[in-house]
């Protein structure tokens, strides 16, 4: 259907009052109508994410039913056993998250597919754990991760507890595209599903099971546990497991930011519930000053990303995702080396846009580094591959966007695991008279001063998407031979699956195809360009290394100026 036809179709059916009022408010506004109906919210390997509201390009009960119907048809196509194993459903604290979780169960139930739904908001990594614990066929989490309050989303997990890879996501999309009438999707009442044994509400038993696994992360008994910590869940789902995990680890001097412990999808104390943003730490920093805390921890609403701030002089300094990843990697490998548990075939998994500092650290411990595409699903895919083949022993995986995984009872990034390990790591260095910032400087002095930057450019609406596509098309057609006066040594086109070297020869990229470009320069400097899979933006990544912090910073600035888009 064309935009106007879809708009009138939605006007002609009975909608919840909030949706009908929204459509009434945009009568005659062509741009507003087109934005809501020019497409369906796209579904990919990261699931779907969009603004809440009325229309096919918005998150509402009808677009949730559509993706749930696609999932249900996919599961049904895999037989009765898949339907009986069922789907675990979790959700964060966002507006309509609980309602969307229930709608998902209602659609699945209409296909006689079992659902296991958490009674309360729980983190995304706990969803991944529970899928594996219950041997479910799939998992769903209702979340928009760290997006602003007007967003929500729908992420699908496979039976291994990992986000779907493109092959399986495309199957769900095909089933979604076969749906002729979004308003004719059948749903079952929750009470009837309970009576038929198709809906089970998950209790705290799985909280305890997850906590038991978390305690296996504790490797360093030779630390002091009286360090003062501040933790904020940013109004999200991380409160229960992080607080209980730190307590179980033995940290009894933990202070919670009470204003942000309230689970509220409006995120009233922050404009952007993202632990990458300094503003998200404002209340944590104030409490830290009040109690004299050395370390601040923050998780995003679904608790798969962790931000860390460290006491520095009179205030606090935030660590970047690359910095925290390097610190964790070095601490994990050092601890295993001391304990005699470092395997001979260890592997580090990181993404192609993550700092090369991790590669340098891993090499020092004779650990191989394997790069993946951006998205933790690709790291999880490699974990599964090595589990089957035994070729490597997984030690750590991370990406620059504040996502990390230590132990593989979860197959997605897990801020709960990492919060506990960061506290242990900070206590270890504190015992030796160092902060995490001191430890980071030691890494730079040993391996080189690595600096990275990320610039995001927003491309809203249909016109924005076309403009973003044109930028990448132009770079493909006229790839620069040098940037900032430095020769381009390698041009990597991950959509074509080809690397072009400076002499014109080519190599195959043995990774799934994705719309990413990367330029590697003769001095090791690199630039990557990647459209976001879940937000209307294009991301430009920059990475350099220098002999001094000044040299690295100056090189990074020159690179960004030269590649200004």
pLDDT in tens, 458-483: 887 777 777 888 888 888 988 899 99
| SS3 state at 9 | helix
Calculate Rg over the CA atoms of the chain. Answer: 24
Question: Could you give the dihedral angle defined by the CA atoms of residues 338, 339, 344 and 345, in that order, rounded to the nearest 10 degrees?
Answer: -110
Indicate if 449-562 has the same CATH topology as 324-413: no
Q: At residue 64, does pLDDT exceed 80?
A: yes
Q: At residue 534, does pLDDT exceed 90?
A: no
**Local confidence band at 162 (pLDDT 50, 70, 90 cut-offs):** very high
Could you give the percent of the chain with pLDDT greater than 70? 99
**449-562 CATH:** 3.30.310.50
* Angle, CA of 520, 383 and 127, to the nearest 5°: 110
Q: Which of 19, 27, 28 is nearest to 53 (CA)?
A: 19
For the entire predicted model, the pTM comes to 0.94
Q: At residue 284, does pLDDT exceed 60?
A: yes
- Find the mean pLDDT for residues 76-89: 98
Q: Which residues are catalytic?
A: 145
Query: How far is Cα 520 from Cα 501, in angstroms, rounded to an integer?
Result: 10
Could you give the percent of the chain with pLDDT greater than 90? 87
> How high does pLDDT run on average in the chain?
94
Q: Look up tokens 């404009």; give the residue.
A: 271
Q: At residue 154, does pLDDT exceed 80?
A: yes
pLDDT in tens, 189-240: 999 999 999 999 998 999 999 999 999 999 877 777 889 999 999 999 999 9
**39-118+133-198 CATH:** 3.40.120.10
Q: How far is CA 46 from CA 42, 398, 533, in A?
A: 10, 16, 7
Residues forming beta bridges with residue 145, ordered by sequence position = none
Contacts 24+ apart (CB under 8 A), 215-219: 215/245, 215/248, 215/249, 216/407, 217/406, 217/407, 217/417, 217/420, 217/421, 217/424, 218/249, 218/420, 218/424, 219/335, 219/336, 219/339, 219/424
- Find the mean pLDDT for residues 112-141: 98
Q: CATH fold of 324-413, please?
A: Alpha-D-Glucose-1,6-Bisphosphate; Chain A, domain 3 (3.40.120)
Please state, as a whole number, how many other Cβ atoms lie within 10 Å of the Cβ of residue 213. Answer: 15
Residue 539: enclosing H or E segment and its boundaries?
A: strand 537-546
Non-local (6+) Cβ contacts of 148 within 8 A are 267, 271, 272, 273
Q: Take residue 278 and report the two structure tokens written for it.
A: 């300094």
Query: How far is Cα 488 from Cα 486, in angstroms, rounded to an integer?
Result: 7
Q: At residue 565, does pLDDT exceed 60?
A: no
Q: At residue 535, does pLDDT exceed 70?
A: no
Directed axis angle between helix 205-214 and helix 239-249, to 10°? 50
Burial of 215 (0-12, 13-18, 19+ CB in 10 A): exposed
| Residue-level pLDDT at 564 | 73
Considering only residues 413 and 534, tell me which one the structure prediction assigns the higher pLDDT: 413
**Local confidence band at 5 (pLDDT 50, 70, 90 cut-offs):** very high
For the chain, the domains span: 39-118+133-198, 324-413, 449-562
**Buried b / exposed e along 225-243 (16+ C-beta atoms within 10 A):** eebebbbbbbbbbbbbbbb
């Amino acid at each position: 259907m064309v935009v106007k036809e879809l708009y009138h179709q939605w006007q002609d059916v009975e909608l919840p009052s909030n949706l009908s009022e929204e459509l009434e408010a945009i009568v005659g506004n062509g741009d507003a109508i087109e934005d809501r109906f020019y497409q369906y919210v796209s579904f990919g390997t990261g699931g779907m994410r969009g603004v809440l509201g009325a229309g096919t390009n918005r998150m509402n009960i009808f677009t949730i039913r559509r993706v749930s119907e696609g999932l249900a048809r996919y599961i049904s196509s895999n037989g009765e056993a898949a339907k009986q194993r069922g789907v675990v459903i979790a959700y964060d604290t966002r507006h309509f998250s609980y309602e969307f979780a229930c709608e998902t169960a209602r659609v699945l139930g209409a296909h006689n597919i079992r659902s296991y739904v958490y009674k309360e908001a729980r983190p995304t990594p706990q969803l991944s754990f529970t899928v594996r614990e219950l041997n479910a066929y799939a998992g769903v989490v209702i979340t928009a991760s760290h997006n602003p309050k007007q967003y929500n989303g729908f992420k699908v997990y496979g039976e291994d507890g990992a986000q779907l890879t493109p092959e399986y996501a495309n199957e769900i999309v095909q089933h979604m595209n076969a749906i002729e009438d979004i308003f004719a999707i059948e749903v079952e009442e929750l009470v009837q599903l309970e009576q038929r044994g198709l809906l089970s509400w998950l209790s705290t038993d799985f909280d305890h099971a997850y906590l038991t696994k978390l305690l296996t992360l504790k490797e360093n008994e030779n630390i002091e546990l009286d360090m003062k910590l501040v933790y904020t869940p940013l109004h999200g789902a991380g409160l229960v497991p992080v607080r209980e995990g730190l307590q179980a680890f033995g940290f009894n001097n933990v202070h919670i930011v009470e204003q942000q412990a309230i689970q509220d999808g409006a995120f009233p104390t922050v404009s952007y519930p993202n632990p990458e943003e300094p503003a998200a730490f404002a209340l944590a920093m104030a409490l830290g000053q009040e109690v004299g805390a050395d370390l601040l921890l923050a998780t995003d609403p679904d608790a798969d990303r962790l931000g860390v701030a460290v006491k520095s002089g009179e205030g606090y300094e935030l660590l970047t995702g690359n910095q925290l990843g390097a610190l964790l990697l070095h601490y994990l490998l050092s601890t295993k080396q001391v304990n005699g548990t470092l395997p001979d075939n260890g592997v580090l998994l990181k993404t192609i846009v993550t700092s090369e500092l991790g590669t340098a650290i891993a090499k020092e411990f004779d650990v191989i580094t394997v790069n993946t595409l951006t998205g933790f699903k690709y790291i999880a895919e490699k974990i599964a591959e090595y589990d089957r083949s035994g070729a490597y022993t997984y030690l750590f995986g991370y990406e620059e966007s504040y996502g990390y995984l230590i132990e593989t009872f979860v197959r997605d990034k897990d801020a709960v695991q990492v919060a506990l390990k960061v506290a242990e790591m900070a206590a270890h260095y504190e015992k030796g008279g160092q902060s995490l910032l001191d430890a980071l400087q030691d890494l730079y002095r040993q391996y080189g001063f690595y600096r990275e930057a990320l610039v995001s450019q927003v491309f809203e609406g249909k016109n924005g998407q076309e403009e973003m596509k044109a930028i990448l098309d132009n770079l493909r057609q006229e790839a620069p031979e040098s940037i900032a006066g430095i020769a381009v040594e390698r041009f990597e086109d991950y959509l074509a699956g080809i690397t072009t070297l400076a002499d014109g020869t080519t190599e195959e990229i043995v990774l799934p195809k994705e719309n990413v470009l990367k330029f590697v320069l003769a001095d090791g400097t690199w630039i990557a360009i990647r459209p976001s899979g879940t937000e209307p933006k294009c991301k430009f990544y920059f990475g350099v290394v220098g002999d001094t912090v000044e040299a690295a910073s100056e090189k990074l600035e020159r690179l960004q100026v030269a590649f200004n888009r």
